[in-house]
Structure formats: C-alpha cells, structure tokens
C-alpha cells in the first residue's frame, strides 16, 4: 500500500495505511501531521456526521463559543489571524474548513461514515473496520487507526438526576440538542448548571430577548474575564515585525501567560482566589452578593477555569433580567422549580446544562483477534495508545489548557512512531504494562468537575510512572513528541516474525 497517496478502493472494501476516525479538531490536525510527516502513506478520515467540525458543528446553543483563546486552540501550522482570542462556534467551523482546504486535508474526508467496529488481526497485522454509510455496511482495512473521536458521546448526553423533571409541562432542553427554532423571547428560563455552557448561555439569552433567566447552580465556579482585543488596536511588536513572527509571538504569549497563571494558582491558591473574586466583583453590578454565588469551595484550577469575553457574564446581571441562585433542587413541578431553601423559580423553559457523557473511542466495539477490548480497563501509553491494543492511537488533549496543544503533541508523537516503525520494518507496536505498574491508577484527564467524576468509569487509566503518566504540560509533552525514547513500554513485531 505504500507509495500511494490514495488508498486502495474496490466496490465493497477500501484499504489505507492509516484511518483517522473523526473530523473534529483532533482528526484534522492528525491529517495534517500524517501528510507532512509521512507523505508516502495513504490515509482517510472517516466521519460519522455530514460535516466537519465535531464539537463545533454539534453544539448550536445561543452564544456557543470557545472558552480557550484561539491562538493556542487553533492549529499550530495555520495560526489564528483574527483579533479576538475567543471565537464563536461558527467561526471555528469556518476556520477548520479553510484550514482543511488550504492543506488539501479535505481530499481525504469521507462523511456519513460511522465506524461501528474494529478488529485487529495479529496474523494479517491489519485492522478490519466495519463502517456504516447511511445504512450500507462497508469494510475498511488499515495498518493503523487514529481515534480523533473526542471524549464524550454525541448520541447520549449525561443523564441529569433532577427530581420531578418528568412532571414539568414546559420545554426541557439539553444544550447538546438545542432546537434551532426554540423561541425564548419574553419567556422565563432556568439554566441548571454552572459550567462553561451556562456561563456562555446567560449573556446570550439576555441579548436574545429572554424575559427572565436564572442560572441555578448547586455550587459556584470560578469565572475569569478574557479581554477581547478592540478592532484596530495593535500590539507594539506588530508594528514593526512581519506577520508570521507577530503571530508566533502572540501564540507564545498565550501559551506562557496562562501557564504562569496556572502555576500562580497552584502555588498561592488564596491569593489567586482573592484576585479572581476581586476581578469578578469589579465587573458585577454594585452590591451584587459575592457570597455564595461567586465563592467556590475548591481552589482555582482544581476545575477548569471558565473564561468569558470582556466580562460579558458578569455584565449581564446589570439590567435585572438575569440572576444567579445557589441552592439545590427539591423538586420540579409542572411549571416551576422548588428549591431546598424554600424559594420557587417559575419556568417556561428548563435548560439542563449539566455536562457531557464521557466516552472514549467513539463507541466503536474494539477487539484484538476477536477478543473484545473494554477501553476503560486499559492503561494509556504516553496518553496516546491503549495497553494490549496494537497500532491504535487515541487522541486526547488537555483540559487545563487548549485541547489542541495536547492533540498536536499526540499526533506528532504517533507519526514519529510510525516513521520509526517503518524504518525498522516493524509492522506493529503494542503497549505492554506490567502487573506492578498497573497497581497505581491515575486519571488521564485530571479534573474534579462533576462530569469527570461521574464518568471516571468510562475512562481508561493512566499510571504513576513513565510511560503511563497522564499528559503533563505542553512544553514537556511537545519535547517528548519530537525527541523522546519511543521504545519504553512498547512491544514491536517485525516483518520476519
């Protein structure tokens, strides 16, 4: 198969060196790394949906936007050139489309191709995939699979345990399935949750003419304002440096400053807390009660810090059409929510912004020589491969920095590994963990937010020592991707054996 840009195609089967599953940020990025690092290998990107974008194509709720800056969330090989660091879902999709066509990655997409199962054959040293293409079953073969399938289920949202919700006669909406024709103008809404989604929704709903909206949170989160750049304002270095250097400096600034802030939060949690709360108070209406609505019980960065552009979240409380309530739900009635503090919230629409249903490997049933692989029982080698599973890469990014930074380190690592294998005439690499090493388990995504806690059972493990450690920080992971020793923890099979 080598030496062919396009895979081998017959009516019923297709063969490639590499199959990438998913056309989200991770899949597109992996496609770029494939074609630049291994230009002689054939690859295709199988995407279950009708379009690219992944997360940014799926979520349609009002105001949907990143809460990372696009200078680091964007692709390192095609820097974000717009002025606003925080971008809308739509502009992220456009940017992804432009990137895919600029580098010819779009030639490799096959949409409406949902991978159902994948079985590794040790005899053939190949993966065999069953793919559903609008009801037609197709078979694909590949030497390697790269899972750019994200980390949550697209079909099944996290079940929110809200007592009495079934009695509610109004409209219940999950942000993952926002009806695009939902009319909330003049209506009373309650948004349950305090994460990034709720914080994005509130100002957007106020702007969109909601009658009144309550953000109902069980416990508060940290929210930080991210100043958006005013049009026409230029950084001093942009005045005299060529654009590509300026873009690089901007990227480095956005890499380093948040990292320093992260270290500051870890080292001096009390000071960080005071700083975040002080900044919030400045932007909230006068006399807004900070306690309990903006006084989290955890330390900054124990959970992902929510960013809001130009403090829009704080400012939306000014005209009295938005409020925040910190309490727990006693029960939902046909037209209201009764709280344990005795309060009653009337509602026409309830939004359950309570999180994602964690899922890895896109609900594909995986097997090795027909033996089923339960993903959550496996350990992750360098946060990119699963123990006991040959030639399969699973891309997970960072949760305390832009996802893409981690996804790109993973892609650089796995393409280098493929090159290394080709050079040594290895046909497969399988991570092997010893019983001793498997004794101590860690989380590959280390955050304590509710949805991560409730989804722990769906996640593979990380270990306490290299090469099983969770992703660390970008500088170190990036160094390892380009220069680290590839052999530790891997078992190789060569051509002759």
Ligand X SMILES: *[C@@H]1O[C@H](CO)[C@@H](O)[C@H](O)[C@H]1NC(C)=O
| Residues near ligand X, by CB under 6 A | 3, 39-40, 153, 155-156, 259, 262, 359, 363, 400-401, 442-443, 446, 472-473
Q: Does 357 bind ligand FAD (CB under 6 A)?
A: no
**Binding flags for ligand FAD, 41-60, as an x/- string (CB under 6 A):** -----xxxx----xx---x-
Residue 156 interacts with which of ligand FAD, ligand X, none, CB < 5 to 8 Å by class: ligand X
**Who's near 396: CB < 8 A, 6+ residues apart?**
151, 360, 383, 384, 406, 407, 410, 444, 445, 471
Instruction: Supply the minimum distance, in Å, between the C-beta of residue 262 and ligand X.
Output: 4
> In angstroms, what is the minimal distance from the CB of 196 to ligand FAD?
6
Smallest gap, in angstroms, from Cβ of residue 233 to ligand X? 27
Q: Residue 195 touches which of ligand FAD, ligand X, none (CB < 5 to 8 A by kind)?
A: none
Question: Which is nearer to ligand X, 98 or 472 (by Cβ)?
Answer: 472
Q: Which of ligand FAD, ligand X, none does 48 bind, CB closer than 5 to 8 A by kind?
A: ligand FAD
Q: Which of helix, strand or coil describes residue 436?
A: coil
Residue 3, both tokens: 């030496």
HEC secondary structure over 444-470: CCCCCCHHHHHCHHHCCEECCCCCCCC
Does position 355 interact with ligand FAD (CB under 6 A)? The reply is no
**What does 100 interact with, of ligand FAD, ligand X, none (CB < 5 to 8 A by kind)?**
none
Q: Which is nearer to ligand X, 1 or 182 (CB)?
A: 1
- By the 10 Å C-beta count (0-12 exposed, 13-18 middle, 19+ buried), 339 is classed as middle
- Residues 403, 409: Cα–Cα separation, whole Å: 10
Q: Binding marks (x or -) toward ligand FAD, 362..401, rule CB under 6 A?
A: xxx------------------------------x-x----
Minimum gap (Å) between residue 51 Cβ and ligand X: 20
What is the Cα–Cα distance from 350 to 172, expressed in whole angstroms?
5
Of the chain, the end-to-end C-alpha distance in Å amounts to 20
Distance CA 57, CA 420 (A): 35
CB closer to ligand FAD out of 55 and 326: 55
- Pick the closer one to ligand X by CB: 241 or 438: 438
Residue 371 has φ and ψ, to the nearest 5°, of -85, 120
Output the DSSP codes for 160-201.
P--TTGGG--SEEE-GGG--TT---BT-EEEEE--SHHHHHH
- CA proximity to 344, closest of 363, 329, 357: 329
Strand, helix or coil for residue 269: helix
- Asked if 309 touches ligand FAD (CB under 6 A), the answer is no
Contact 175, 59 (CB under 8 A): yes
As measured in angstroms, the least distance from the Cβ of 198 to ligand X is 23
Cα–Cα distance, 389 to 375 (Å, whole number): 10
Of 110, 94, 112, 89, which Cα lies nearest the Cα of 44? 110
Supply the minimum distance, in Å, between the C-beta of residue 477 and ligand X. Answer: 9
Which of ligand FAD, ligand X, none does 23 bind, CB closer than 5 to 8 A by kind? Answer: ligand FAD
Instruction: Name the DSSP letter for residue 236.
Output: G
Cα-based torsion angle of the residue sequence 30, 32, 38, 40 in order, rounded to the nearest 10 degrees: 120
Verify binding: residue 100, ligand FAD, rule CB under 6 A: no
Q: Which of 14, 15, 26, 99 lies at the binding interface for ligand FAD (CB under 6 A)?
A: 26
| Residue span binding ligand FAD (CB under 6 A) among the ranges 16-24, 160-168, 208-216, 230-238 | 16-24
Please report how close the Cβ of residue 23 comes to ligand FAD at its closest, in angstroms: 5
Candidate residues 21, 210, 316, 417; the one interacting with ligand FAD per rule CB under 6 A: 21
Please state, in angstroms and as integers, the Cα–Cα distance from residue 138 to each residue in 7, 10, 115, 128, 430, following that order: 15, 11, 9, 10, 27
Tell me, residue by residue from 177 to 206, as one string, x for binding to ligand FAD by CB under 6 A and - for no binding: -------------------xx---------
Binding stretches for ligand FAD (CB under 6 A):
21-27, 46-49, 54-55, 59, 66-68, 73, 114-115, 148-150, 154, 196-197, 356, 362-364, 395, 397, 402-403, 407
């Amino acid at each position: 198969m080598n030496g062919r840009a396009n895979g081998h195609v017959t009516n019923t089967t297709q063969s490639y060196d590499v199959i990438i599953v998913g056309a989200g940020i991770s899949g597109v990025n992996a496609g770029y790394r494939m074609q630049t690092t291994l230009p002689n290998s054939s690859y295709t990107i199988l995407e279950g949906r009708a379009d690219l974008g992944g997360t940014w194509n799926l979520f349609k709720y009002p105001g949907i936007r990143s809460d990372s800056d696009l200078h680091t969330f964007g692709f390192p090989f095609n820097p974000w050139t717009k002025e606003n660091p925080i971008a809308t879902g739509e502009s992220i999709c456009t940017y992804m489309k432009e990137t895919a066509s600029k580098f010819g990655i779009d030639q490799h997409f096959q949409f409406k191709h949902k991978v159902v199962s994948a079985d590794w054959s040790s005899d053939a040293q190949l993966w065999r995939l069953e793919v559903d293409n609008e009801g037609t079953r197709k078979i694909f073969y590949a030497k390697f699979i790269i899972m750019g399938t994200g980390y949550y289920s697209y079909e099944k949202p996290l079940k929110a345990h809200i007592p009495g919700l079934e009695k509610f006669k109004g409209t219940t909406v999950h942000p993952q399935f926002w009806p695009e024709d939902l009319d909330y103008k003049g209506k009373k809404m309650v948004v349950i949750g305090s994460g990034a989604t709720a914080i994005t929704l509130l100002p957007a709903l106020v702007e969109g003419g909601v009658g009144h909206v309550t953000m109902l949170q069980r416990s508060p989160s940290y929210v930080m304002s991210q100043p958006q750049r005013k049009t026409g304002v230029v950084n001093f270095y942009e005045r005299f440096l060529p654009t590509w250097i300026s873009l690089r400096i901007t990227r480095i600034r956005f890499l380093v400053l948040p990292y320093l802030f992260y270290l500051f939060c870890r080292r001096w949690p009390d000071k960080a807390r005071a700083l975040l709360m002080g900044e919030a108070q400045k932007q909230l209406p006068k006399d807004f009660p900070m306690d309990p609505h903006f006084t989290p019980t955890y330390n900054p960065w124990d959970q992902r810090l929510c960013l809001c552009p130009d403090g829009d979240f704080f400012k939306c409380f000014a005209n009295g059409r938005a409020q925040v309530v910190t309490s727990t739900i006693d029960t939902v009635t046909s037209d209201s929510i009764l709280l344990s503090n005795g309060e009653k919230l009337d509602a026409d629409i309830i939004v359950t912004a309570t999180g994602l249903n964690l899922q890895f490997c896109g609900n594909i049933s995986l097997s090795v020589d027909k033996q089923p692989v339960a993903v959550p029982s496996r350990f992750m080698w360098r946060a990119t491969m699963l123990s006991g599973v040959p030639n399969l890469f699973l891309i997970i990014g960072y949760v305390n920095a832009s996802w893409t930074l981690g996804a790109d380190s993973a892609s650089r690592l796995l393409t280098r590994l493929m090159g290394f294998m080709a050079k040594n005439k290895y046909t497969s690499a399988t991570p092997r963990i010893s019983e001793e090493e498997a004794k101590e388990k860690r989380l590959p995504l280390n955050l304590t937010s509710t949805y991560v806690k409730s989804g722990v059972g769906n996640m593979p493990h990380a270990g306490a020592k290299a090469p099983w450690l969770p992703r660390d920080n970008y500088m170190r992971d990036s160094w390892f991707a380009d220069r680290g020793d590839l052999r530790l923890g891997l078992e190789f099979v060569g051509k002759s054996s």
